């Protein structure tokens, strides 16, 4: 199984990039990618710019090209450095239904957020809800699970622990080694999931 795909879901939309700064003189912006499928910019022309506390703005993608590990995007009607700077910090999003289809056994991070994690066994334990996914701490992504008191537990999202993912029911059932729930760690943010492989959407 693979790590969860990179995405950040928000109100029916999914973040595929974030604007870092203006790039060039005619309105281009440099973005960091939050997607496992950058090649899909070739068909993704209807995009949205959103910043927390602001309105979502629909944009038409004119051109794109990779640059220093990120992606430069040029939008219709954004034709100057000043106009590009207004997009700084914005998340570039698509509608959730326009996400790339995933192979079996792979899930988008945004679909896992909010799922109740339950351990199988005697007795079954409701651990808490998925608040985030942490990549980079090892070969497997870590589910950041918060209980009702706000305490966090980091649980490896690996096939050997996973029993069932019920997205409609917002429930993940796992069988964990004894003592794992006593291990706590700091949180981070994440991307695309398929238990134990690579990252992003």
- What letter would DSSP give residue 16? E
For 180, the 3-state DSSP assignment is helix
Give the class (CATH, top level) of 107-193.
Answer: mainly beta
Q: What is the pLDDT along the chain (201 residues), one digit of tens a residue?
A: 454 555 555 558 999 999 999 999 999 999 999 888 899 999 999 999 999 888 999 999 999 999 998 999 999 999 999 999 999 999 999 998 898 888 888 888 888 999 999 998 777 889 999 999 887 666 788 999 999 888 999 999 999 999 999 999 999 999 988 877 765 443 333 344 555 433 344
Instruction: Let me know if the fold of 11-98 is the same as that of 107-193.
Output: no
CATH H superfamily, domain 11-98: RimM (2.40.30.60)
Structure confidence at residue 181 (pLDDT): 76
- What letter would DSSP give residue 97? G
| Cis preceding linkage at 123, omega within 30 | yes
Q: Which residues contact 149 (CB under 8 A, 6 or more apart)?
A: none
Beta strands in 24-149 (DSSP E): 29-33, 46-50, 57-67, 70-75, 91-95, 107-108, 116-119, 125-134, 142-146
pTM, entire model: 0.68
Tell me the CB-side half-sphere exposure of residue 128, using CA atoms within 13 A: 17
Q: Give residue limits of the domains in the chain.
A: 11-98, 107-193
């Amino acid at each position: 199984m693979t790590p969860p795909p990179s995405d950040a879901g928000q109100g029916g939309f999914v973040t595929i990039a974030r604007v870092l700064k203006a790039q060039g003189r005619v309105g281009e912006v440099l973005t960091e990618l939050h997607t496992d499928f950058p090649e899909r910019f070739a068909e993704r022309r209807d995009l949205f710019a959103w910043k927390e506390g602001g309105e979502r703005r629909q944009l038409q993608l004119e051109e794109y090209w990779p640059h220093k590990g990120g992606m430069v995007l040029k939008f219709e009607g954004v034709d100057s450095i000043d106009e590009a700077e207004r997009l700084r910090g914005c998340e570039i999003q698509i509608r959730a239904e326009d996400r790339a289809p995933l192979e079996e056994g792979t899930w988008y991070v945004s679909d896992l957020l909010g799922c109740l994690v339950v351990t199988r066994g005697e007795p079954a334990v409701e651990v808490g809800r998925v608040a985030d996914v942490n990549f980079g701490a090892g070969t497997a992504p870590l589910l950041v699970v918060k209980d009702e008191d706000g305490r966090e537990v980091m649980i490896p999202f690996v096939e050997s622990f996973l029993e069932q993912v019920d997205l409609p029911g917002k429930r993940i059932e796992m069988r964990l080694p004894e003592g794992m729930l006593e291990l706590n760690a700091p949180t981070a943010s994440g991307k695309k999931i398929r238990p134990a492989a690579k990252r992003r959407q």
